[in-house]
Amino acid sequence: FGSSAGFFSSFGGLRTHKRTAMSAAVAEPPAKRLAAGNGAAAKPPELEFFSAWFCPYAQRAWIALEHHGLPYKKVEGLLPDKPGEQFVGYIKNPRLLELNPKGMVPTISEGPGSPPVYESLVCVEYVDEVAGAGAAGSLLPGRACERAQLRVQADWVNRE
């Protein structure tokens, strides 16, 4: 894709989109809308989110975290095997291996004493639950049959 500027400009100026009052309300993450309202939701824990910059499965969970505006610390799961820019391969982050012995991303942790969450679709559903998303703020449609259909499609993508 080259530079990100070229990538985004190919979508008709996505980066310079001007929000209307309606689109701003719709685009605002549910967690931020709740906090701005009268009854602020209980503050969710800051999550430790292990990712890899090139992994589309980890990007699913990252999109969910961003959508809901949850606090998280992003940690690169793969580290260069040598310092500098001349590395040949990578090693898995030791903390990631503590949480997930397979060393797979995405992996999410609430901290000590909490079991880690991994597998991309499980992470997305977990983030939805932590955010307390109702039908309006969920990443999946409101009706159970529609959510089931999307899960079937996502499972097909995972297997194919």
Give me the chain's average pLDDT, please. Answer: 73
Of 115, 159, 138, 116, which is closest to residue 64 (Cα–Cα)?
Answer: 138
pLDDT of residue 128: 86
- What does the angle CA 89 – CA 93 – CA 96 come to, to the nearest 5 degrees? 135
How do residues 33-80 score in pLDDT, each as one tens digit? 444 444 455 566 789 999 998 899 999 999 999 998 999 999 999 888
Average pLDDT over residues 119-126: 89
Of 77, 66, 155, 78, which is closest to residue 109 (Cα–Cα)?
Answer: 77
Residue type, 17: H
Q: How far apart are CA 94 and CA 107, in angstroms?
A: 13
Of 118, 90, 113, 89, which is closest to residue 102 (Cα–Cα)?
Answer: 118
Q: Which pTM does this prediction carry? A: 0.63
- What tokens appear for 152 in the block? 């079937």
How do residues 4-16 score in pLDDT, each as one tens digit? 343 333 333 333 3
CB 40 within 8 A of CB 79: no
pLDDT of residue 140: 73
